[in-house]
Amino acid sequence: MQLFGPVLALLARILMAFAFAFFVPLAWAWFADDVALRAVWAASFGLAFGSGWVLLLLTRRYSRELLPRDGFLLVNLVWVVLTVYAMVPLLFAVPDITVSKAFFEAMSALTATGATALSGLDSLPVSVNVWRCFLQLVGGLGIVLLVVAVLPLLGLGGMQLYKAETPGPMKDAKFTPRIAETARGLWAVYFVLSVACFLAYRWAGMSWADAFMHMCTTMGLGGLSSHDASFGFWNSPAIEWVATLFMTLAGISFLRYFMVWRTRSIKPVIDDREIRMYIVVLLVATLMVFISLLEHQPQSHAVDTLRTALFHVVSVATTTGYASQDYTQWPVALPVLMMFLGAFASCAGSTGGGIKMVRMVLLIKQARRELVRIIHPRVVNPVTLGGQTVPPAVMQAVLGFMLIYGGATMGLTFLMLLSGLDIVTAFSAVVATVNNIGPGLGQVGPAGNFGGLSSFQLSVLSFAMLLGRLEFLTVLVLFTRHFWRR
């Protein structure tokens, strides 16, 4: 207890803070006059807050600055423990749901993956769908990042948590003298964009409830919906354009928006190599899908086809996972292309998943550097990004990450194949969950869901979502013996 007491003490505070999230679905149940679910949400609040209070009483005497090891352990505990508490109301509110499905659904929501094991979403109580979607808003930017903003009030440093939670390889770029100020700034940007997205959805024709839920899943780049048909439920060009705009914005680093606000200049966005590549990739991929669809569906209207192509490319590439139609019925190369984009297209510091565009840029530069060295062995040709030389340690970290990413994807796919899945469903399910995309191909495509998978398969994919959300190393370091040495 002396070793991990401070970690558990902070976990207790986080759990108590998380308990107040249950007030959001409770409010919807109250206005919907759903008496039974009011009790479920109120009891869930009491369970989470009470558990945190008891744990705090047991550990409050342990106080010290967090070490790097503490930060990694705490981040993992937060995601797993909060997922457990988030799934509890689903067990009582969703008919015939199993524990494995409830855990999968809660993990998918908190990690902003958007894969669902539930069907009949249109008939679920509004408060249940609100809970699923609201979790994606909270988890999108990172629950722990929110905690970092209030750690100074607790007398604890937040740098270790920031390094463990922030996506992307450039984790030491704090942008402000104090990490807590950065965290608060990021959440301010997140809040402003979320409000704008909410109002835009309402203006485009969604109900207030749908606008709130889809704002949550758009800004969190999660993609859960309150309708089985996802965006096909509305068949509305205006709603799809709004979704496309805000998914694109959410796929850009919120750190850059924060710098735009601080400097009162758009230069930090324009000069960012990663953002430029992100936009170029989206536009080129949209053009490819558009041309292919026109050839495949020559009777379709060009403007509608362009909108459909752009909407689905942005949705999958940013790891959101919305769909207005079953794109697995398109030429086979197109859904595969979009899944490939989802593995890397979103920017580091955004709410998207995958390996991030900045890593892909660095890998391409490193490959080009090696090709030059073959011809000119003595040439000095360092890898640069944004006019600055990338330190060798960063490149080593990127290469190590890619090795683990590839190995984990292959290993998890093999487990799914051993469990009896076909190769298309197995591989796409792993890619979709490891990269936090949401829907895959085959049985788990946009026209289906993950509900037909076994408890073992759902457990494997739940672990895959956690791996992807915390970028592999943060999770896998717990399985090394060196981590547990004093």
pLDDT tens, residue by residue, 192-201: 999 999 999 9
Q: Is residue 203 pLDDT above 70, yes or no? A: yes
Using CA atoms, how far apart are residues 389 and 327, in angstroms rounded to an integer?
41
41 within domain boundaries: yes
Using CA atoms, how far apart are residues 24 and 212, in angstroms rounded to an integer?
11
199 within domain boundaries: yes
Using CA atoms, how far apart are residues 305 and 298, in angstroms rounded to an integer?
10
Token pair listed for 7: 């970690």
Average pLDDT of span 335-356: 91
Using CA atoms, how far apart are residues 14 and 111, in angstroms rounded to an integer?
17
191 within domain boundaries: yes
> How many domains would you assign to the chain?
1
DSSP 313: H
What amino acid occupies position 289?
A: V
The reported pLDDT for the residue numbered 485 is: 76
375 within domain boundaries: no
Which of these, 68, 21, 99, 79, lies nearest to 164 by C-alpha position?
Answer: 68
Using CA atoms, how far apart are residues 307 and 9, in angstroms rounded to an integer?
50
> If you search the block for the tokens 């509890």, which residue do you land on?
88
Token pair listed for 240: 């799809």
Which of these, 59, 158, 67, 156, lies nearest to 483 by C-alpha position?
Answer: 67
Query: Cα 463–227–87 angle (5° rounding)?
Result: 35
Task: Name the pLDDT band for 246 (thresholds 50, 70, 90).
Answer: very high
Q: Please tell me the pTM assigned to this model.
A: 0.91
What amino acid occupies position 150?
A: V
Please return the burial class of 151, using the count of CB atoms within 10 Å of its CB with bins 0-12, 13-18 and 19+.
buried
279 within domain boundaries: no
Q: Picking from 54-68, 127-141, 367-381, which range would have the lowest pLDDT averaged per residue? A: 54-68
418 within domain boundaries: no
The reported pLDDT for the residue numbered 157 is: 46
Using CA atoms, how far apart are residues 81 and 88, in angstroms rounded to an integer?
11
Average pLDDT of span 243-268: 90
Residue 151: domain span: 5-254
pLDDT tens, residue by residue, 428-476: 999 999 999 999 999 999 988 999 999 999 999 999 999 998 888 888 8
303 within domain boundaries: no
Full 3-state SS string of 36-98: HHHHHHHHHHHHHHHHHHHHHHHHCCCCCCCCHHHHHHHHHHHHHHHHHHHHHHHHHHCCCCC
DSSP notation for 325-358: S-GGGS-THHHHHHHHHHTT-SPTTSS--SS-HH
452 within domain boundaries: no
Q: Picking from 63-67, 153-157, 176-180, which range would have the lowest pLDDT averaged per residue? A: 153-157
The reported pLDDT for the residue numbered 167 is: 63
How many residues are recorded in the chain?
Answer: 486
The reported pLDDT for the residue numbered 152 is: 43
The reported pLDDT for the residue numbered 147 is: 47
pLDDT tens, residue by residue, 161-201: 545 555 666 555 555 556 667 777 888 888 999 999 999 99
Please return the burial class of 95, using the count of CB atoms within 10 Å of its CB with bins 0-12, 13-18 and 19+.
exposed
pLDDT tens, residue by residue, 357-372: 988 988 998 998 889 8
Q: Is residue 232 pLDDT above 90, yes or no? A: yes
Which of these, 354, 436, 356, lies nearest to 108 by C-alpha position?
Answer: 436
Using CA atoms, how far apart are residues 450 and 467, in angstroms rounded to an integer?
18
The reported pLDDT for the residue numbered 290 is: 96
Token pair listed for 454: 């076994």
Q: Picking from 126-140, 245-259, 404-418, 469-483, which range would have the lowest pLDDT averaged per residue? A: 469-483
Which of these, 291, 290, 349, 355, lies nearest to 317 by C-alpha position?
Answer: 355
Average pLDDT of span 328-355: 92
